[in-house]
Structures are given as structure tokens and as C-alpha cells.
């Protein structure tokens, strides 16, 4: 276990006379750590996963990461350790393998009390999913099937699933709440989110002991305030903020704003941008909620409740960070909905969760992260 390794190294390098004192301090810390309830985080080295690992640690849980680093880097664990002081335990495996998952889950249940699993591990590029639908179906749906089977066999029953507001398509009413219909998916990626939600709901209705929160994210942006972790898009970023920050840093061509002829006030699309640490804390609240509300299976919208247009985001970024965004208007991107933002009342009420950060703070942290990457 990485905590043990860390302590071992400290003890080796300490001078002999300090060893006893160090032991007196470190062994109680180790014991405390062992008593913490474990939360298994698949995709814990990814963007939202790594921030959630930090939030879990800060709330007194012991996060254990499962990741195969297919879209993340092992160094992310060092960034987490810089913030929390603890490098999380890691199982490096592909979530499609039920046997590997089962082994990891059983190892965790043998090690302590498991409060639940948060399942992030999935492919997430909408455009790529239209090119590689089989990969998306196999990976995203396949790994959820394997995870549910491994949970059932290992007696772990609480699941928090990483879903998306994309399940709503363009809703008739905004802000959209959880009772809005699930519309036919625009992309294979969107379909996998709908299919996994359905799979989890069907498993919940069966005899399998399961409780679940289906968390429908709006647009997560920003980074941890320390800039030790953030979004690490591999290759060309598809989402607005990582592209924008890379364009401002001179690493990309100017940002293309996809369409300024939409039926909105300034002609650009409207979204609900939520600070990734607020989103991360909602996962902790979901685990706590499941611990005291089982058996349940509920969907929750996670957004700020406020819609901002692309032009408003650009203006807010420039004002907050005092730097100009190079951009030009271009054609619409296929599959984009005009406007969507959350009614997150259910999450406020049930989970006791609220956003702490506003758009400006999220854009400040996104830029701080980009600057830190440039120095690394
Ligand atoms: C996208 C996905 C959504 C997924 C989410 C994950 C699509 C259609 N939807 O949401 O399913 O859950 O990411 O984070 O891809 N924009 C530009 N220029 C750019 C990039 C984006 O103008 O270079 C605009 C888009 O048109 C949109 C807004 O910025 O209006 C946000 O786009 P993006 O960050 O890609 O998120 P979504 O499309 O909302």
C-alpha cells in the first residue's frame, strides 16, 4: 500500500534518534487511515475522477483508484499526493475485465469497509464515438456490466455513476429537471450514457443488492485551486475550456466559436459551466447519501442552475484573467443543442449539496492550471 511505502521511506531516511518519535506520530496516522471507509474510484486518475479523489480524502474517506491510464497519466497520482499528502492506492487494470475488477474489489473489502464505488472510467469524446462506435459500446457499456457483476460477487452495493446531461438532448423546458424525457441519443457516446443508466436501473429492480446515484453532469470546467491537478486532454481538446486555454497560451489556433446564429441573445449556445471541485464534492455527498438511503436508485442533475453563452464565457475569461482570447466565429458543430442548463434542486434537497464557486472562479482556476502546465 502506498501509505505504508511512504512511511517506510520516511523511516529509512530518518536519523536513528528520530525514529521512535516518528513512529509515535506515524503509526496512529496509519491506523486512522486504515479505519477510514474505502471508496473505489474507477477512472480515478482522470479529470473529474482525480478531483473527486481529493474531495473524498478531504471528507475522511479512503479513495482507492482503479485506472488503466488509457486517457490519463500516472503522474496525476503525484498531483493528488501534493494536495492530500497521501498517494492513493492504485489498481492498474482495464474495467472490462470482470475478474480483475473482482480481485481488486475483494482486496478492498478484505482491507476495510467499502462505502461504495464511483464509476468514471469511460471513453468520452463525442466526435470520436461517431468514428468508433464499437469501441464506445464495448468499453463504456462492457465495463459497467463487468463492474456490476464484480460488485454483486464481492458484496459491494453502493454505486455512483458518472452520467451526463446529454441524456436529455435538447429538452423542451430549461432549466431541465430529472423528470424530463430521455431523448434518442445524438451520438454513440450519448447512447452509452443512456444505456448504462438503464442497465443500472434494471439491476436495481432485480434481486441484486444495489443502490445507485446517476449523476447527470452539465459542463465541468476549472481545476483544483492549487493547480496540482486539472484537465489533461490528450491530443486536440474537444471541449470549450481546454481548447480556449490552450489557444490563449498560444498552443493552438484561435478558438472557433461554433455558431453565432442560434436563437439566443448573442447567437451563441448556452451551457451550465460548473467548477470541477463543486462537481467532485457532489460525488462525496452521493456516497454519503447512499450510505444512509439504501436501497435507492436516483438520478441527480449537477449544474449551477445558470446558463452562460459561449460569448459570455469568453468575456468572463478575459475580464477575470486580464488576457485576450483569440477567437473567430465559425459554423455550427453538428449535434450541439442550442441551450441547456440545470434545475439542480433535487441534488440541493436530497444530497445537501450546493455549488461554492462561480464561473469567474472556475475560469481563474482553469487558466492557473494551464499556466502551471506551461511551467512543468
Ligand atoms: C460535450 C458533449 C457532451 C458531454 C460533455 C462532456 C457534445 C455535443 N456534447 O458537451 O455530451 O457530456 O461535452 O464534457 O459534444 N464550443 C465552441 N468551440 C469549441 C468547443 C466548444 O464554440 O472549440 C462551444 C460548443 O458549441 C458549446 C460549448 O462551447 O456550445 C460547450 O461545448 P463543449 O465544451 O464541447 O461541451 P458540450 O458540447 O456542452
CA distances (Å), 333 to each of 8, 127, 233, 256, 260, in order?
A: 53, 10, 19, 10, 11
Encode pLDDT of 269-289 as tens digits.
Answer: 999 999 999 999 999 999 999
What is the spatial distance between Cα 204 and Cα 87, in angstroms, rounded to a whole number? 33
Average pLDDT of the residues of the chain: 92
- State residue 34's pLDDT score: 57
pLDDT exceeds 80 at position 184: yes
Residue 29 vs residue 42, higher pLDDT: 42
- When pLDDT is cut at 50, 70 and 90, the band that residue 31 belongs to is very low
- When pLDDT is cut at 50, 70 and 90, the band that residue 12 belongs to is very low
CA quadruple 221, 227, 230, 233: dihedral positive or negative? positive
Q: How far is the CA of 272 from the centre of ligand 1 (A)?
A: 11
Encode pLDDT of 311-327 as tens digits.
Answer: 999 999 999 999 999 99
Q: Does the beta carbon of 66 lie inside 6 Å of ligand 1?
A: no
- When pLDDT is cut at 50, 70 and 90, the band that residue 375 belongs to is confident
pLDDT exceeds 60 at position 29: no
Residue 269 Cα: closest atom of ligand 1? 30
Encode pLDDT of 61-75 as tens digits.
Answer: 999 999 999 999 999
CATH architecture of 36-375: 3-Layer(aba) Sandwich (3.40)
Ligand 1: residue whose CA is nearest its atom 20: 240
Q: Does the beta carbon of 258 lie inside 6 Å of ligand 1?
A: yes
pLDDT exceeds 70 at position 242: yes
Give the domain ranges of the chain.
Answer: 36-375
pTM of the model: 0.91
Residue 243 Cα: closest atom of ligand 1? 23
pLDDT exceeds 60 at position 223: yes
Q: Does the beta carbon of 276 lie inside 6 Å of ligand 1?
A: no
Q: What are the two backbone dihedrals, phi and then psi, of residue 326, each rounded to the nearest 5 degrees?
A: -75, 120
Amino acid at each position: 500500500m502506498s501509505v505504508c511505502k511512504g512511511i517506510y521511506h520516511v523511516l529509512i531516511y530518518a536519523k536513528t534518534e528520530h525514529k521512535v518519535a516518528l513512529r509515535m506520530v506515524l503509526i496512529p496516522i496509519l491506523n486512522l487511515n486504515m479505519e477510514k471507509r474505502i471508496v473505489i474510484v474507477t477512472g480515478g486518475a482522470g479529470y473529474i475522477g482525480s478531483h473527486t479523489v481529493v474531495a473524498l480524502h478531504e471528507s475522511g474517506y479512503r479513495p482507492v483508484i482503479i485506472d488503466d491510464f488509457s486517457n490519463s497519466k500516472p503522474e496525476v497520482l503525484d498531483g493528488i499526493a501534493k494536495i492530500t499528502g497521501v498517494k492513493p492506492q492504485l489498481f492498474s487494470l482495464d474495467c472490462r475485465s470482470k475478474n480483475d475488477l473482482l480481485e481488486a474489489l475483494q482486496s478492498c473489502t478484505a482491507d476495510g469497509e467499502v462505502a461504495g464505488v464511483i464509476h468514471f472510467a469511460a471513453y468520452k469524446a463525442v466526435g470520436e464515438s461517431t468514428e468508433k462506435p464499437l469501441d464506445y459500446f464495448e468499453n463504456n457499456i462492457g465495463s459497467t456490466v463487468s463492474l456490476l457483476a464484480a460488485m454483486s460477487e464481492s458484496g459491494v452495493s453502493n454505486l455512483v455513476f458518472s452520467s451526463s446531461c446529454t441524456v436529455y438532448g435538447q429538452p423542451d423546458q430549461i432549466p431541465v429537471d430529472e423528470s424530463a424525457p430521455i431523448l434518442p441519443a445524438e451520438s454513440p457516446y450519448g447512447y452509452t450514457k443512456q444505456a448504462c443508466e438503464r442497465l443500472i436501473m434494471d439491476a436495481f429492480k432485480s434481486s441484486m443488492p444495489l443502490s445507485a446515484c446517476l449523476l447527470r453532469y452539465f459542463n465541468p470546467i476549472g481545476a483544483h485551486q492549487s493547480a496540482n491537478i486539472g484537465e489533461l486532454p490528450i491530443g486536440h481538446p474537444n471541449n470549450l475550456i481546454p481548447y480556449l486555454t490552450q489557444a490563449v497560451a498560444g498552443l493552438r489556433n484561435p478558438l472557433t466559436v461554433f455558431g453565432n446564429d442560434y436563437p439566443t441573445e448573442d447567437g451563441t449556445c448556452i451551457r451550465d459551466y460548473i467548477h470541477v471541485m463543486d462537481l467532485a464534492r457532489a460525488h462525496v455527498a452521493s456516497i454519503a447519501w447512499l450510505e444512509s438511503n439504501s436501497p435507492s436508485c436516483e438520478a441527480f442533475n449537477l449544474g449551477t442552475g445558470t446558463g452562460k453563452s459561449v460569448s459570455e464565457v469568453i468575456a468572463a475569461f478575459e475580464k477575470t484573467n486580464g488576457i485576450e482570447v483569440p477567437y473567430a466565429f465559425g459554423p455550427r458543430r453538428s449535434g450541439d443543442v442550442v441551450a441547456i442548463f440545470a434545475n439542480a434542486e433535487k441534488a440541493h434537497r436530497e444530497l445537501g449539496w450546493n455549488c461554492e464557486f462561480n464561473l469567474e472562479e472556475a475560469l481563474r482556476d482553469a487558466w492557473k492550471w494551464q499556466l502551471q502546465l506551461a511551467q512543468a
